[in-house]
Amino acid sequence: MTHPFTCGLDAVLFVVGGKWKPLIVYHLAHRTLRYGELRRSVGKVSDKVLAQQLRELVKDGIVARRDFKQIPPHVEYSLTPFGTSLSQALAQLCEWGTNHSAELAAIAQRSASGSKNEPETSTQ
């Protein structure tokens, strides 16, 4: 059987592509969260997008959804073992982002201002 992906990274991006899924996995790696807690943790995501992303992560076996069947609704989200293994891989990306936050902030600033200026490069 041939795989539909060009490499392992292509496969990962197929499952967690986009802005919000990696952040959802990151926050669930720390503890089980209710929907409202997760929304506050993730940030400026709309309810519609968060709900859609969570449905996809549940369908893909990365996130587990536990519905307590109560009024008012009580639903908790946590990582499955498959999701936990993904969060461990994403932890290295998080560390890289932390270590390069100054450079990444400069890139974000240039992007926000629409600047086409090339970053300064050093020869080492």
pLDDT, position 56? 95
Q: Where along the chain do its domains lie?
A: 8-100
Out of 3.20.20.150, 3.40.50.720, 3.40.50.2000, 1.10.10.10, the CATH code matching 8-100 is: 1.10.10.10
75-105 pLDDT, tens digit per residue, is 999 999 999 999 999 999 889 999 999 999 9
Quickly count: other Cβ atoms within 10 Å of residue 37's Cβ.
14
pLDDT, position 41? 95
Residues facing residue 63 across a β-bridge: 79
Entry pTM: 0.82
What strands lie across the sheet with 63-67, from one edge to the other?
Answer: 33-34, 75-79, 63-67
